[in-house]
Amino acid sequence: WTFYYGTSTTTDKITDGQSAQMRWYTTATSNLGYAKYNTSFENVTKVVFNAKSTNGLKVRVSYSFNGTDFIEAETFSLTGTAQEITCNINQTESIYLKFEVVLPDTNPGGTSRLTIDDVKVYGMR
């Protein structure tokens, strides 16, 4: 995994020993945290993961054919309680995945966190 404004953490984890946590700070409003998986997947049909956030942050799931230029698959609204999310992708080519902070319609007003865990990538052979 590559993290920007985030890390793997044991603070406020969803399950097991740690979760991936991306952040948004009121002092750096243009820096939106993300986690990007560094290995590609082939024949992806869907991605299932657990997620939660503080202050109304959303999560955008994107994919890329080259690991650099990402295409939005879907954006999901979250709450402070972890929920299982399913994102349908249906790509037969090799793709990279990215989970990114998206701000709510109104400024969160305080430092905020997006937490993901238990990422499962499904595909067909």
Question: pTM to 2 decimals?
Answer: 0.92
CA distances from 120 to 30, 86, 97, 113 (A): 29, 10, 11, 21
- pLDDT value at residue 49: 97
**pLDDT tens, per residue, the chain with 125 residues:** 999 998 888 878 898 889 999 999 888 888 899 999 999 999 999 999 999 999 999 999 999 999 999 999 999 999 999 999 999 999 999 999 999 999 998 888 888 999 999 999 999 76
Q: What pLDDT does 125 receive?
A: 60
Place of tokens 């097991």: 16
CA distance 102 to 44: 23
